[in-house]
Amino acid sequence: MNKSTLLYAGETRGWDVDAAWHDLVDPRDVAGLDPAEYAPPPGDPEASGQPADALAELEDAHARARVLVAAQYRAIADILAEAAVDPDPWTGPDPTLDGAWADPRGRTTSAVRRERRDLAVRAAVADIAVRLRMSETTVRAKAADADALRSRCPRLWALFLGGAISEQNARIAARDAASLPSAAHAAWAAFDEQLVSSAAVLTPARFRVRARVVRDRMHPASIDERHREAAQERSVWIVDGDDAMSTLCVQAPTADIHAAWNVVDAHARSLRAEPDEERTLAQLRADVLVGILARGESRGIDPVVSVTVPMMTLLGEDDTPATLDGYGPIDLDTAKRLAGSARSWIRVLTHPVTGTVLDVDRTTYRVPADLRRWVTIENASCLFPGCARSARECDIDHRVDWQFGGPTAATNLGPTCEHHHIVKHGTRWRLERDSEAGELRWTSPSGATTGLDPPPF
């Protein structure tokens, strides 16, 4: 066993790991980074007892596991890269080095050497897959993700190796970074810089949105151009499963997919409200969709989709992209079509300077429809850290209870999903506003404090 010093969760700790994973963190990788900045929120220093000890032990185990997962990515990428550089261990000696060699298939020396490199990588992939009981596709994906992070996002790569970023978030960042143009070095650097803090604190569902939005902003090509190209890839396919069940997959423009989802959801919720209905909402959505597609059933419900369009963009004086609620930036042509068409679309025009809309304080308990709409647009999802439940599906909660003097005002309202609404009122979790900074912070029963998740867009 080898003893290594591993950087994670804002501190260094020594512990035994297998010798194969030695030297996991190169000091050059973490130059200029302060890992403490990405540490999890500290608990109450006076808290003690079994729950606090168990939580601390769990955090420690989780951080160690992250480090080993990152080490696996690094090792896989290094093995495949070395196989491409030196194919001999995987394919045997290079026959082209023999002066008397002649290829029986008439290939050139460069073609043979190129094929040897490819075969060496294939052999290495297969070897790793067998040893680790992974599919070869997974092995190649891990290597590609590691290469993308190492070459395009060195800050994220260093934090991943140090255990500050989860495997899921590292994979999301890697694939969005890899989709940026190969020569867009400035875009890579900006993408890396803007995701460092959020990658360490957001759950995968929320980080996926954040990464997509940052990628869209950093991409040198306009979203309109990229949307036109991507729309050419729209398709439908089936994935067959067990027990006579299958999954229907549709890839199409985002606005259309969200509109279709909202139609299905509205149908399902309408049926759910009927007496004696025993199906779950998920079952109803599936039944409604299949009914519409297979049998042409419809109840005439129109979808409602919120689109925020900066005024100057709508007037053609700016290129700030429009935002589709629950997704992020969309192309301008789609935004203009939605903003000027059916009454079933909510059109939200932002202020050309501040990007916000005016808010009016309320003196009644019941949240008026226009204020509810504003609150759900201002906060796209549940306020609880890590919860990606859409604000449209949440309760509009009074942070300070109405019965204790809390007003029905935008400053005291926020979307909270049913689950976290119950947690907030039924446990020792607290949501409080910092009197000096004015920021909202959650405090857990064990004393850990954390702010709201960074907005995805």
| Per-residue pLDDT reduced to its tens digit, 334-386 | 777 766 664 544 444 444 554 433 333 434 556 767 678 878 878 888 898 88
Chain-centroid distance, C-alpha 256: 21
User: Is the pTM above the cut of 0.85?
Assistant: no
**Which band of pLDDT confidence, cut at 50, 70 and 90, is reported for residue 456?**
low
Q: Is residue 422 part of a domain?
A: yes
Give domain status of residue 164, yes or no: yes
* pLDDT band per the 50, 70, 90 thresholds, residue 24: very low
For residue 273, being part of any structural domain is answered with: no
Judge whether 299 lies within some domain.
Answer: no
Average pLDDT, the chain: 80
Q: Which of 49, 2, 46, 47 is nearest to 22 (CA)?
A: 2
Write down which residue in 169, 187, 220 finishes a domain: 220
Is 216 strand, coil or helix? helix
Q: In sequence order, what DSSP letters do the residues of 296-349 get, joined into one string?
A: -----PPP-EEEEEEHHHHTTS--PPEEETTTEEE-HHHHHHHHTS-TTEEEEE
- Quote the number of domains for the chain: 2
User: Can you give the C-alpha Rg of the chain in angstroms?
Assistant: 26
The tens digit of pLDDT for each residue in 382-411 reads 898 888 888 888 988 888 887 777 777 777
Yes or no: say if 414 and 379 are a contact pair by the CB < 8 Å rule.
yes
Distances in whole angstroms, Cα of residue 30 to Cα of each of 8, 68, 177, 314: 11, 17, 19, 43
In whole angstroms, what is the distance from residue 211 CA to residue 195 CA? 7
- Note down the domain range covering 135: 2-220
User: Which residues share a beta bridge with 309?
Assistant: 349
Q: Is the dihedral of CA 429, 432, 436, 437 positive or negative?
A: positive
Please identify, among 173, 190, 220, the residue that sits at the C-terminal boundary of a domain: 220
